[in-house]
Amino acid sequence: AQKVTQAQTEISVVEKEDVTLDCVYETRDTTYYLFWYKQPPSGELVFLIRRNSFDEQNEISGRYSWNFQKSTSSFNFTITASQVVDSAVYFCALHTSGTYKYIFGTGTRLKVLA
């Protein structure tokens, strides 16, 4: 079965704090893609990153970084020096070659307080 778990329903941090959003996935497929999307209050999901199962390199993009660990089936997302504009719901998603479907986690609502 394919599954994405985002155990953190809601996280509140104070501006400039670092925060990590957890994502754990399950799949038996050896070929798959993992994604992170951001959904601001306006409602439109915004693509943040894509990672395929053969590429375990961590990635950094500005204040955002992602840690992909196949050994623990995790694809965690860290925001350093958080800002109020980072407040949104963040979704982790899995797409496998077997089902050819996107499976989204339930999302983590991040609130960054000024």
Partner 1 sequence: KAGVTQTPRYLIKTRGQQVTLSCSPISGHRSVSWYQQTPGQGLQFLFEYFSETQRNKGNFPGRFSGRQFSNSRSEMNVSTLELGDSALYLCASSTGVGYTLYEQYFGPGTRLTVT
Where are any strands of DSSP class E within the chain? 3-5, 10-14, 19-21, 24-26, 32-39, 46-52, 59-61, 64-69, 74-79, 88-96, 102-104, 108-113
Q: How far is the CB of 43 from partner 1 (least distance, A)?
A: 5
**CA angle, 13 as apex, 12 and 17 as ends, to 5°?**
160
Q: How far is the CB of 76 from partner 1 (least distance, A)?
A: 19
Q: Which is nearer to partner 1, 21 or 82 (CB)?
A: 21
Q: Which is nearer to partner 1, 78 or 99 (CB)?
A: 99
Distance CA 91, CA 37 (A): 5
Q: Which is nearer to partner 1, 15 or 102 (CB)?
A: 102
| Residues near partner 1, by CB under 8 A | 33, 35, 37, 42-47, 50, 52, 91, 95, 99-107
Q: How far is the CB of 83 from partner 1 (least distance, A)?
A: 22
